[in-house]
Structure 1
Amino acid sequence: MKREIIVDNFAGGGGASTGIELGLNRYVDIAINHDQAAIDMHKMNHPETRHYCESVWDVDPVEACNGHPVGLAWFSPDCKHFSKAKGATPVNKNIRGLAWVAVRWAASVPVRMFMLENVEEFLTWGPVEDGKPCKKRKGETFNAFISALTTGLDLDHPSIEDVKHALGEEFDLSIIEKGLGYQVEWRVIKACDYGVPTTRSRLFLIARKDGEPIVWPEPTHGEGLQPYKTAADIIDWNLPVKSIFGRKKPLAENSMKRIAKGLEKFAFTEAPFLAPDPTKISFITEYANASHQRNMAIDEPLRTICAQVKGGHFALVTSHIVKFRGDNIGHGTNEPLHTISAGGFHLGEVRAFLIEYYGTGSAQKIDKPLHTITTRDRFGLVMVKGTAYQIIDIGLRMLEPYELFKGMGFPADYKISHDSQGKKLTKANQVARCGNAVCPPLAQALAASNYKPLSIEIAA
Structure 2
Amino acid sequence: MSALTYIDFFCGAGGSSAGAERVPGVRPVLAANHWDKAIASHSANFPDAEHFLGDLHDADVARFPAADLFWASPECPKWSNARGKKRDFDRQPDLFGETLPDAATDRSRALMWDVPRYLEAMATRGRPVLAGVVENVIDVRAWNLWTAWVSDIRALGYRTRLIALNSMHARPARTPVAPQSRDRLYLAYWRAGLRRDPDWDKWLRPTAWCENCDKPVRAVQAFKKPGADMGRYRQQYVYRCPNVACRNAVVEPPVVPAASIIDWSLTGRRIGDGKLTKTFTPYAAATVERIRTGIRKYGAPLLAPAGGTWRTEATPVTVPAPTRTTRENDGLAVPPLLVPTEGRDGKAAGQVAEPMRTQTARNETGLAWLPFIAELRGGGSDARPVLDALATVTASGNHHGLTVPPAAGAVDWQALLTPYYGNSGARPVAEPVGTLTTRDRYGLASGHGAGAGTDVDEVLFRMLEPHEIGAAMTFARDYVVIGNKREKVRQFGNAVTSNVAELLVSALVEAITGDELATGWAS
Coarse TM-score class (shorter-chain normalised): 0.5 to 0.7
Counterpart in the other structure of 2:87: none
Distance 1:96 1:324, change over 3 A: farther
Matched, 1:405 2:405: no
**What is the CA-CA distance between 1:7 and the residue it aligns to?**
0.6
Which structure would you say has the larger Rg?
A: 1
Aligned ranges for residues 301-320 of structure 1 at < 5 Å? 318-320=414-416
Distance 1:346 1:229 in 2: 21
Counterpart in the other structure of 2:448: 353
Please say if residues 323 and 348 of structure 1, whose CA atoms lie closer than 8 Å, have aligned partners that are also in contact: yes
- SS of 1:147's equivalent? helix
CA deviations on 1:83-140 (whole Å, 9 max, x unpaired) are: 99848945712112211111101111011212010111110113xxxxxxxxxxxxxx
- SS of 2:478's equivalent? coil
Please say if residues 192 and 221 of structure 1, whose CA atoms lie closer than 8 Å, have aligned partners that are also in contact: no
Counterpart in the other structure of 2:425: 329
Please say if residues 287 and 418 of structure 2, whose CA atoms lie closer than 8 Å, have aligned partners that are also in contact: no
What one-letter code is carried by the residue in structure 1 that aligns with 2:254? P
Counterpart in the other structure of 2:116: 103
CA deviations on 1:164-216 (whole Å, 9 max, x unpaired) are: xxxxxxxxxxxxxxx21211111110111122100011011101113320343
**What is the CA-CA distance between 1:50 and the residue it aligns to?**
0.5
Aligned length: 339
Distance 1:339 1:33 in 2: 23
Match of 1:197 among 172, 179, 183: 179
Please say if residues 169 and 254 of structure 2, whose CA atoms lie closer than 8 Å, have aligned partners that are also in contact: no
Matched, 1:246 2:307: no
**What is the CA-CA distance between 1:77 and the residue it aligns to?**
0.5
What one-letter code is carried by the residue in structure 2 that aligns with 1:218? L
Counterpart in the other structure of 1:75: 72
Please say if residues 23 and 448 of structure 1, whose CA atoms lie closer than 8 Å, have aligned partners that are also in contact: yes
Please say if residues 27 and 48 of structure 1, whose CA atoms lie closer than 8 Å, have aligned partners that are also in contact: no
CA deviations on 1:50-98 (whole Å, 9 max, x unpaired) are: 0001111233233112xx4x21100100033449984894571211221
Distance 1:114 1:316 in 2: 42
**What is the CA-CA distance between 1:436 and the residue it aligns to?**
0.3
- Percent of aligned positions with the same letter in both sequences? 26
Matched, 1:207 2:178: no
Please say if residues 317 and 354 of structure 1, whose CA atoms lie closer than 8 Å, have aligned partners that are also in contact: no
Distance 2:448 2:32 in 1: 48
Match of 1:145 among 140, 146, 149: 149
Distance 1:112 1:352, change over 3 A: same
What one-letter code is carried by the residue in structure 2 that aligns with 1:246? D
CA deviations on 1:319-375 (whole Å, 9 max, x unpaired) are: 121123432113221111212112x1102211121179xxxxxxxx94xx7xx54xx
Unaligned 5+ runs, structure 1? 127-140, 151-178, 277-296, 300-313, 357-364, 377-392, 420-424, 456-460
Please say if residues 27 and 46 of structure 1, whose CA atoms lie closer than 8 Å, have aligned partners that are also in contact: no
Please say if residues 81 and 95 of structure 1, whose CA atoms lie closer than 8 Å, have aligned partners that are also in contact: no
- SS of 1:251's equivalent? coil
Q: Stretches of 4+ moved more than 4 A in 1?
A: 1-4, 83-91, 219-226, 273-276, 314-317, 452-455
Distance 2:14 2:434 in 1: 21
Distance 2:63 2:492 in 1: 30
Please say if residues 24 and 447 of structure 1, whose CA atoms lie closer than 8 Å, have aligned partners that are also in contact: no
Distance 1:319 1:5, change over 3 A: same
CA deviations on 1:405-436 (whole Å, 9 max, x unpaired) are: 101111121112xx4xxxxx321111001000
CA deviations on 1:366-396 (whole Å, 9 max, x unpaired) are: 4xx7xx54xx5xxxxxxxxxxxxxxxx2110
Distance 1:29 1:122 in 2: 28
When normalised by structure 1's length, the TM-score is 0.67
Distance 1:212 1:315, change over 3 A: closer
Distance 1:78 1:245, change over 3 A: same
Distance 1:331 1:122, change over 3 A: same
What one-letter code is carried by the residue in structure 1 that aligns with 2:149? F
- SS of 1:13's equivalent? coil
Please say if residues 78 and 139 of structure 2, whose CA atoms lie closer than 8 Å, have aligned partners that are also in contact: no
**What is the CA-CA distance between 1:265 and the residue it aligns to?**
1.7
Counterpart in the other structure of 2:306: none
Please say if residues 43 and 51 of structure 1, whose CA atoms lie closer than 8 Å, have aligned partners that are also in contact: yes
Please say if residues 28 and 49 of structure 1, whose CA atoms lie closer than 8 Å, have aligned partners that are also in contact: yes
Matched, 1:183 2:159: yes
Please say if residues 75 and 115 of structure 1, whose CA atoms lie closer than 8 Å, have aligned partners that are also in contact: yes
What one-letter code is carried by the residue in structure 1 that aligns with 2:466? P
**What is the CA-CA distance between 1:147 and the residue it aligns to?**
1.5
**What is the CA-CA distance between 1:315 and the residue it aligns to?**
12
Distance 2:480 2:18 in 1: 12
Counterpart in the other structure of 1:45: 45
**What is the CA-CA distance between 1:254 and the residue it aligns to?**
1.6
What one-letter code is carried by the residue in structure 1 that aligns with 2:258? A
Q: Aligned-pair RMSD on alpha carbons? A: 3.1
Counterpart in the other structure of 2:224: none
**What is the CA-CA distance between 1:2 and the residue it aligns to?**
10
Unaligned 5+ runs, structure 2? 81-91, 123-127, 171-176, 210-215, 218-252, 275-279, 303-333, 336-367, 372-405, 515-523
Matched, 1:228 2:255: yes
Distance 2:206 2:264 in 1: 27
When normalised by structure 2's length, the TM-score is 0.59
Please say if residues 81 and 96 of structure 1, whose CA atoms lie closer than 8 Å, have aligned partners that are also in contact: no
Distance 2:55 2:485 in 1: 25
Distance 1:93 1:269 in 2: 54
